[in-house]
Structure 1
């Protein structure tokens, strides 16, 4: 059967791979289907085009339905195949790529597992110390005080993780709501410098600012301060040695954008890790991150805030030299 021109046009308008099967032969296929299944499938027996037994059973039965496929046409991706009966013994076969949904599900599972681990670790320590204190055996005052300090520290760590998780949830809930306020990025940076001085003093790190007017931008002051605070804290924690180092915080107008730039002089990050450091709970050095008070969510929060503000976040790092984080925001008319 020769398909009408309108039918062929409608088939080509379908974005996912689709083909029409007539009496067990491929009568027509759109470009995405040709790309996945082969350029010369039209006119061939469907059994030589789709070799998956579940797919063939569904098509040859003629009643319609759907099934799940994997590794179709050499592509290691999950697919849903749907079959819909059409007039004159024909069927519309569509292939829906489920890669994005599968990736989202993996991210959800990984996130739950990571969050559970991050919360369980300090909780386990707290239970152990509390059980020891609760035992009816003599404990000297020094040991009791040390255990109390440990419990307090682990509880504070859990609280920071929970606060960051709640913050991340709020940011994601607002990600499609554009910020309505007009503000200057340099004002945010000045507050962040003041906020970072205490941590810098603890780490023996000096803060240097090169803050110039940078605005106006459309922004949420609270979220932008959180982004800047997180980046400054990261730079201080990982960019300064035990008793030395410098972190530079700067703002400026560059190429028509308001730019925030934070530079440290730390150990740097190897290229293999750079693409993953904004993932939730991902740490290059997990032990060092926990010891420094990090939750593993700071950069993920910064990334989501940047995305909400239509900003570009770039991280460049050289091992042995340091790391530079740049966030470029679009300017708006005053």
Structure 2
């Protein structure tokens, strides 16, 4: 319920409006009397008396119901609140334009994405892309909906799908047409498309190289080296290496595909990490001896259990220790730490004392086919997918991979559960 003061205020406003109508009527009547030949001073005297009488009337308090109805009628005269109340609930940027491409309104999402646009300004004051302006102009001229992709470079790279369409006519605007310009953020979709296309291109390239090598050696053995047993023996060894490389690549691609299918399902088995790390160390001993590297384990005496998939955790630890042996073999030692401190997350750290990784490469190490040195990776029989597989497995295990590296001092890869 409105207070009596609010009622009086509302009633006074309404009464003032009615009295102005009376003042206008009295003035018009006085002018008509003078025009009819009555003495102007008598007319002026009568007009003054009547005006004073009207002004002396006590203000009429409008009933609450009438006041609310009056306010609703006032709001109804402006259609924008009813339109914008609906559009404000949208989580995508929306602009309301008229037939001259003047911005009549923008929602909060548009203000956040595009900045505050002064109401009444032309669309080109914020969006200067010729493609967007031509699209808006065409829709205003034809009434047909249109859409276009638009990239914003600053403050960060974003890609929007802009769509404009004419709105249904509104009685309050008469014949004036209104148009709705919406922005759908498709940056993530475009990023995934690029990743997918890059992945296909890289996978094709990685498979094409050994296939071309195999084909070349086969043609050579069928032709010039048909009778050269020594060349055949050498070529067969190279062909075996190339086919093994393709087999590793296909296995890694299948692993990635399998992990992506179940990435949303967290494992629920209890796995003791001590025997997992011991098993990986034993499996990699021949490789470590070949490279002249000693793998040293630093494990607690008690069990260290986490929820996980044992085979996948073996793959994570194997990838990290194998990389440390291959790329950090100059340091001669690879240390593996298993930490289980009270009130702290379980951690597995693999530390090498190799050449280290330049800082600009560290954030991209888990990208598919990303290599710090392509030649170095291929010479060590890497597929460029090992850390990508590690990342996917840890994502499924709700764990993180933390990389620290310093040039000339080595690298530390830590899995934090």
Contact 1:11 1:19 in 2 (8 A): no
Alignment pair present for 1:69 and 2:158 = no
Please, which of 394, 411, 417 is the counterpart of residue 306 of structure 1?
Answer: 394
After TM superposition, the structure 1 = structure 2 runs for residues 111-150 of structure 1, keeping only pairs within 5 Å, are 111-135=199-223, 139-150=227-238
Please, which of 272, 278, 284 is the counterpart of residue 190 of structure 1?
Answer: 278
Alignment pair present for 1:247 and 2:334 = yes
In 2: Cα distance, 1:59 partner to 1:93 partner: 10
Match of 2:87 in 1: 11
Deviations 1:43-72 (A, max 9, x none): 323354444333322552433332222348
In 2: Cα distance, 1:26 partner to 1:174 partner: 47
Match of 2:327 in 1: 238
In 2: Cα distance, 1:257 partner to 1:34 partner: 42
Match of 1:267 in 2: 355
Contact 1:63 1:85 in 2 (8 A): yes
Q: For the structure 1 residues 215 and 93, does the alpha-carbon distance in structure 2 shift closer, same or farther, using more than 3 Å as the test?
A: farther
**Unaligned segments of structure 1, at least 5 residues:** 330-334
How many angstroms does 1:106 deviate by?
Answer: 1.2
More strand as a share of residues: 1
Contact 1:17 1:36 in 2 (8 A): yes
Deviations 1:131-150 (A, max 9, x none): 11112655433222111111
How many angstroms does 1:94 deviate by?
Answer: 1.1
Alignment pair present for 1:219 and 2:295 = no
Of 163-172 and 20-29, deviating more is: 20-29
In 1: Cα distance, 2:233 partner to 2:376 partner: 25
Q: How many residues align?
A: 327
Please, which of 108, 131, 134 is the counterpart of residue 54 of structure 1?
Answer: 134
Alignment pair present for 1:178 and 2:266 = yes
How many angstroms does 1:20 deviate by?
Answer: 2.2
In 2: Cα distance, 1:327 partner to 1:71 partner: 36
How many angstroms does 1:214 deviate by?
Answer: 6.1
RMSD: 2.3
* Higher normalized contact order (CA 8 Å, seq sep 6+, divided by chain length): 1
Deviations 1:217-261 (A, max 9, x none): 2211111111111111111110112xx611111212245311111
More helix as a share of residues: 2
Match of 2:296 in 1: 208
Match of 2:251 in 1: 163
Deviations 1:133-169 (A, max 9, x none): 1126554332221111111111001100110011111
Match of 1:33 in 2: 110
In 2: Cα distance, 1:73 partner to 1:93 partner: 21
- Higher alpha-carbon Rg: 2
Contact 1:214 1:258 in 2 (8 A): no
In 2: Cα distance, 1:7 partner to 1:186 partner: 64
In 2: Cα distance, 1:216 partner to 1:225 partner: 14
Q: For the structure 1 residues 204 and 76, does the alpha-carbon distance in structure 2 shift closer, same or farther, using more than 3 Å as the test?
A: closer
Match of 1:332 in 2: none
In 2: Cα distance, 1:327 partner to 1:72 partner: 35
How many angstroms does 1:8 deviate by?
Answer: 3.4
